[in-house]
Chain A
Amino acid sequence: VLGLLSLPFGVFAPFAIWAGTRSLGRIRASDGELRGASRALAGLLGGVIGLSTFLAGIAYWLLAS
């Protein structure tokens, strides 16, 4: 959810990356006890895209204005 939210609202992106990374780590360390790797990966991906876009947008404003 955080990953998807970070696409229209870049401010959520760092939280999505943090939550996605942490969840993936815990899932991998659980030896199959915890599930949801796909959702964690999607959240992480959304967070990374959201953060990249957010930074690119800010960079554009600073450079072009």
Chain B
Amino acid sequence: VIARVLLIALVVVVAVATYPGTLIESAIVKLSSPRADRSQVSPGLLWLHVEHPGQGVPYIADEQGRSVLLHGAIPASLLEFGASAAAQPGAPIYPLDPAAYDGKCPDAVSAGRYPPLCQADLVQMAAMGFNSVRLPLVWSLLEPQRGRFNQVYVDRIAQVVDWARALGLYVIIDMHQNAYSAFVGAGPGVDLTYNSGAPAWATITDGLPSRELVQGKREANPAVVEAFNNFWYNRDGIQAEYIQAIAYLARRFLDDSAVAGFSVFNEPQPGWNLPPGFEDLLLFPFYRRVIDAITGVGDGLPCWTAFFMPAPCCYPDQGIHDLHHLVFLDTGLAREITDFPTHLGLPLSSYANVVLSIHAYTHIYTFDALAGQTLENATYPWGGYDQSYSLAEREAKAMNAALFVAEFGDSPSQDSLILANQLLEQERHQTGFAFWTWKEKGSGGWGMFDSQTGCLRVARERLLARVYPVASGDANLTYHYDSDTGAFTLSARGSAGQPATFVLIPPEVKGSSAALGAVTATTETRPDGSRMVTAAPSGGDFSITVALAPLVLAGCG
């Protein structure tokens, strides 16, 4: 009898710690009303939140309930990428002290793949019509020693946030990593130039060799895989320390509405685990714990945080009670390769402001490209570019989350196909984007600017400096911008007294704007040459158009 009871108890314990427990936990979350604080009104940039319509896909909205599209780029200059990484891993390439950027900009150095990020960069972003910036930062510079945070680095982040706020740009603070860490160790074929992430004390490789098993794939390294694995299983409490690091940032930017939110973990690799178990039982529960720590919503069961925390475990409230910021959650890396959901889409938190972030790299990192197929002859994804977006929309809806393209980009030679199609899908699915990357030196760079001349690539300016509705009272609007002709059409509906729709026209677009139907519209020309159309609905259907006219592009090449 004792043996029978013990065996059944074992089954129950394993069940609670795995899918059955997760399913019950998700059911409780689903039945809870979404929690967030929308009472605070910002004197500066409007607070963003996630709006949850009855049957539709949740979307990012502002204080007035208008749907908001975030368009922006990703400068990688606050990472520790660099040619000197092998000799001195984790060392910053550029000064961290904000004083080095006050009214000046340090010279770009040859060891750095990315030029320094300066105030002029954000001015350029705003001039292209961007309203946001995804700002990657790195754990190794934030917490170089366990439990000791680098205040100078946080001040540097705050400096960028200050610049952004002054220009009306939102900042997504992105806890970035690539191949886990620069401290995974040198080895055959391993180029640490592009490794970034965890500090040395949180890089536990268990003596596995650091070697590149697949040429050009820094992630296919046993030491990297083992280090990831140890992170997901909270070996030596390193996952808990990571959560503390995000809590530190959340505390610092608690009342700052210019910070749209926090991107918790860039491109999470599964370690030795397989989807969907990796996402459902390790990654998303980790995300829930981060949310628990910074918001205090407390979903899940209390657990010991110094050891492996099974899926239903929550994380202690850190007393920050950040119930305003968005929390951006990257899907597992396998989704980037498959363009297909690699999880069950279970709701993970009762916090309302959750955003599912996809990285859209169709034909770049998907199966077809890994199999060596060319863009013209690719046999995957079967659903084309739309496959990833249509499925992501369903994933977000199931998870009670808004959808955002936290990263996409391509080689400049493929812009006419990849970049153009990605932007088309983003319009169709009304998702915002962050473009990788802003500026990049060296040959083969993906930056918006030519790596040799430093000039804005004209093809990218044509595609990315777009006319778009930055905010709209009608979440069901449709719109299309034609980057060849400069023409734009938007169709929406609104009742009298509803919040106005704002359409941004970047300086490159010269066609005249017009409003038709039940709307009163005004157009303001701004100092940088861009125009903002404000359309207040008077009850009924309306449209906003920009007539076709040759674009005036400032870039070259």
Contact = CB atoms under 8 A, between A and B. Distances in A.
B345 A50 contact: no
B395 A65 contact: yes
Contacts of A56: 23
Contacts of A45: 8, 11
B7 A39 contact: yes
Interface in B388-442: 394-395, 397-398
Given A8-B18, A53-B23, A3 B11 contact: yes
A58 B20 CA distance: 13
B10 interface: yes
B3 A38 contact: yes
B7 A42 contact: yes
Contacts of A54: 19
A64 interface: yes
A25 B71 CA distance: 63
B281 interface: yes
Nearest to A40: B7
Contacts of B346: 57, 60
B4 A7 contact: no
A58 B8 CA distance: 26
B511 interface: no
Interface string A35-62: 0001101100110011011101110110
Interface in A2-54: 3-4, 7-10, 38-39, 41-42, 45-46, 49-50, 52-54
Interface residues of B, number: 24
Contacts of A3: 11
Contact of A38 (B4, B26, B280, B397): B4
B344 interface: yes
B186 to A, nearest CB: 35
B273 to A, nearest CB: 10
Given A7-B15, A49-B11, A57 B344 contact: yes
Nearest to A44: B11
Specify which of A8, A42, A56 lies most central, judged by the most chain B CB atoms within 10 Å of its CB.
Answer: A8
A49 B15 contact: yes
A1 B11 CA distance: 10
Nearest to A4: B14
A15 to B, nearest CB: 16
Interface in B9-39: 10-11, 14-15, 18-20, 23, 26
B529 interface: no
Contacts of A64: 345, 397-398
A63 to B, nearest CB: 9
B277 interface: yes
Contact of B14 (A7, A41, A58): A7
A28 to B, nearest CB: 15
Contact of B345 (A7, A8, A60): A60
Contacts of A60: 23, 26, 344-346, 398
Nearest to B24: A53
A50 B8 contact: no
Interface string B365-404: 0000000000000000000000000000011011000000
Contacts of B15: 7, 46, 49, 53
Contacts of B398: 60-61, 64-65
A9 B18 CA distance: 9
Nearest to A9: B277
A46 B26 CA distance: 20
B20 A65 contact: no
A27 B281 CA distance: 35
Contacts of A38: 3-4, 7
A8 B281 contact: yes
A52 B19 CA distance: 10
B8 A42 contact: yes
B7 A61 contact: no
Nearest to A7: B18
Contact of B394 (A8, A9, A10, A65): A65
A27 B397 CA distance: 48
Given A9-B277, A61-B344, A65-B394, A53 B19 contact: yes
Nearest to A37: B4
Specify which of B3, B15, B395 lies most central, judged by the most chain A CB atoms within 10 Å of its CB.
Answer: B15
Contacts of B7: 38-39, 41-42
B446 to A, nearest CB: 32
A39 to B, nearest CB: 6
Nearest to A56: B23
B461 to A, nearest CB: 37
A49 B10 CA distance: 13
Contacts of A41: 4, 7-8
Contacts of B14: 4, 7-8, 46
Given A4-B10, A7-B11, A50-B19, 20 more contacts: A4-B14, A7-B14, A7-B15, A7-B18, A8-B14, A8-B18, A8-B277, A10-B19, A42-B8, A49-B20, A52-B20, A53-B15, A53-B20, A57-B19, A57-B346, A60-B346, A61-B345, A64-B397, A65-B394, A65-B397
21 contacts: A8-B281, A38-B7, A42-B7, A42-B10, A42-B11, A45-B11, A49-B11, A50-B20, A53-B20, A54-B19, A57-B19, A57-B23, A57-B280, A57-B344, A60-B26, A60-B345, A61-B345, A61-B398, A64-B397, A65-B395, A65-B398
Which 10 pairs from chain A and chain B are nearest by CB?
Answer: A65-B394, A42-B7, A38-B4, A8-B18, A65-B398, A64-B398, A7-B18, A57-B344, A53-B19, A53-B20
